[in-house]
Amino acid sequence: MGRKRTPEEEARRELIRELLSKANVTGMEDIQTLFKETIAEFMEDSLDAELEETLGYGKYDHAARTESGTTNSRNGHSRKTLKTSAGKIDINIPRDRNGEFEPRILPKNQASVSAAIESKIISMYAKGMTTSDIQAHIKDIYGLDISDTTVSRITDKILPEAREWQQRPLESVYAVVFMDAIHYHVRSEGQIVKKAVYIAIGINLEGKKSVLGMWVGENESAKFWASVLNNLKNRKVEDILIACTDNLTGFSEAIAAVFPKTDIQNCIIHQLRNSSKYVSYKDIKALMADLKRVYQAVDEQSALAALDDFADVWDKKYPKISKSWRENWANLSTYFKFPEELRRLIYTTNAIEGFNRQLRKVTKSKSVFPTDDSLFKMLYLAMLDITKKWTGRRQDWGQIYPQLALYYGDRIPE
């Protein structure tokens, strides 16, 4: 049995029935026509009310006009086609003689783009839509012609907010920080140059993930990473328990200079990519299976034994691979001292690489950015869109946190 209607609902239904009967509505097409006429009537009544407010007197209130002392008056109507989900609707827009009337409910032109439309433009920009696509959508939805300059002006409003975000205070201790760079082409002094965007993603002591910052700089270098780490420190980060990075030369030294107690775990996936770079196609499957015995060993001692076995088989053909693993072993093997749940969290930089893939998806329509600011603006908006889903803590944090407390108890605030 359906819900019983309230007296107000019953009265409203009776009015609707009466309206449908008088309008001779016999099908859905008639209902759509009636709906469009209702919207037009509502809009025109609202516009007339707005004009009365601007003039200070009603349509036929001559005494009020004389009393107000205004020289302004009504001056006919202009026609505007409004696009709605029900189709195109023609609206009569009242005019005033002095041209002072600026409708709020139906903006006159692009200079009157409402906050709601600005929000839509920013949202489309954040999803990687090109300026021409944004212009076409706004024209289609709102009937407004907007220029490249207008899109840029509206999206530029986000820059102060983005810079404030980049300098916001952070938490004093992070359990894990992942660091990686993504590269883009940017126009600079008449030339197209490759820029690195340095990204840091942190997991706090509650198991919640967040982007700590994104910095546009020259091609990836340990020196710039040192400035990123100092930026984190200046924003109140006192300690990072574990840092997960690629194997960039000098990166470990940069971390040690700023956060000397931090354990460093180089990304195993990066190391595997480097190891397989020059391997013959016919050898790759067997070679990678032997390397798997190294990085999936139960402990460090077993891993080193597996690395010796790997060298015995492959050193004659590919001597640089085992050499590279041994030279980087101190930072490749950090995860062996931890239990399985914590190992899975830190042995790759998958957490940040997944984020980078989503950024690339958003920015793929832009082969070259005109400025560093335009690149940062788009990445910031994309970041806001991506991280909307980052709610709550990791599901396995109940297993991971006790392990962190065991190894780093003296560095975890009570």
pLDDT in tens, 309-365: 999 999 999 999 999 999 999 999 999 999 999 999 998 888 888 899 999 988 888
What is the helix, strand, coil percentage profile of the chain, to 5? 55, 15, 30
Please give the angle made by the CA atoms of 328, 333 and 335, to the nearest 5 degrees: 140
Q: What is the pTM of this model?
A: 0.70
Per-residue b/e over 208-223, b at no fewer than 16 CB within 10 Å? Answer: bbebbbbbbbeebbee
Candidate from 55-64, 124-133, 194-203 with smallest mean pLDDT: 55-64
- pLDDT of amino acid 121: 81
Q: Is 205:234 a contact under the CB 8 Å cutoff? A: no
Structure confidence at residue 271 as a pLDDT band (50, 70, 90): very high
pLDDT of 112 higher than 50:
no
Burial class (CB in 10 A: 0-12, 13-18, 19+), 22: exposed
Interacting residues of 367 by C-beta distance below 8 A, sequence separation 6+: 185
Look up residue 68 and give its two tokens. 């107000």
- pLDDT of amino acid 86: 61
Interacting residues of 168 by C-beta distance below 8 A, sequence separation 6+: 235
- Give the C-alpha separation, 261 to 170, whole Å: 19
- Give the C-alpha separation, 229 to 226, whole Å: 5
Q: Is 50:105 a contact under the CB 8 Å cutoff? A: yes
- pLDDT of amino acid 111: 35
The chain-wide mean pLDDT, for the chain, equals: 86
- Write down how long the chain is: 414
Nearest to 143 by CA among 73, 185, 82: 82
Candidate from 103-112, 120-129, 172-181, 403-412 with smallest mean pLDDT: 103-112
Look up residue 131 and give its two tokens. 């300026």
- pLDDT of amino acid 102: 77
Structure confidence at residue 76 as a pLDDT band (50, 70, 90): confident
- pLDDT of amino acid 176: 96
Please give the angle made by the CA atoms of 275, 278 and 284, to the nearest 5 degrees: 70
- Give the C-alpha separation, 233 to 170, whole Å: 9
pLDDT one-digit tens code per residue, 400-412: 999 999 999 899 9
Candidate from 17-21, 182-186, 274-278 with smallest mean pLDDT: 17-21
Tracing tokens 């449908």 back to the chain, one arrives at 20
pLDDT of 65 higher than 80:
no
- Give the C-alpha separation, 306 to 313, whole Å: 11
What's the CA dihedral at 126, 230, 172, 398 to 10 degrees? 60
Q: Is 51:94 a contact under the CB 8 Å cutoff? A: yes
Amino acid, res. 18: E
Measuring CA to CA, how many Å separate 351 from each of 188, 322, 403? 31, 27, 20
H or E stretch at 7: helix 7-22
State the greatest distance between any 2 C-alpha atoms of the chain, in Å, as a whole number.
Answer: 105
- pLDDT of amino acid 135: 83
